Amino acid sequence: MGKIYRDLRAASVRAELEDSLRRLKLDVIDLYQIHWPDPEHQIEEGWEALAQLKEEGKVRFLGVSNFNVEQMKLVQKIASITSLQPPFSLIRPEVEKEILPFCKRRPSFRSPNCHATWSWLRCCGRSARHTMLNQA
């Protein structure tokens, strides 16, 4: 297994996507996500590269994972976000307070992760978190 590194420079994003297509023997990838917005100063360059790859037909939908609201606002100026995989856990309330309301207000988000998490929180998440914190 190769070394794991984080690089959102355009050349790296393109090479990684092209390598994935080759290894998977595909012409197009349905969903391609930036998993970690790191290094932060390369987020825009990486997202621009993904937008170009989408225009070229090599990827159908673009998504983000572990992004905060400000980072999502930044990349949405370049190309819309289709999928969000938030860093959800019962001990991270900022997801419920900031990230999920942000994605719920945007019709471009089609992410089952985002909407399922929102529904779970509305249904039972608050009481589950309350119970967990009170038992600690």
pLDDT at 130: 41
Of 31, 63, 60, the closest CA to residue 47 belongs to 63
Is residue 56's pLDDT more than 90?
yes
Burial degree of 95 (CB within 10 A; 0-12, 13-18, 19+): buried
Q: What is the pLDDT of residue 102?
A: 76
Compare 111 and 15 and report the one with higher pLDDT. 15
> Which one is predicted more confidently, 88 or 8?
8
pTM comes to: 0.71
| Averaged pLDDT score across all residues of the chain | 77
Domains and CATH numbers, the chain: 10-135 (3.20.20.100)
- Neighbour count for residue 4 (Cβ, 10 Å): 5
DSSP structure class, residue 61 = E
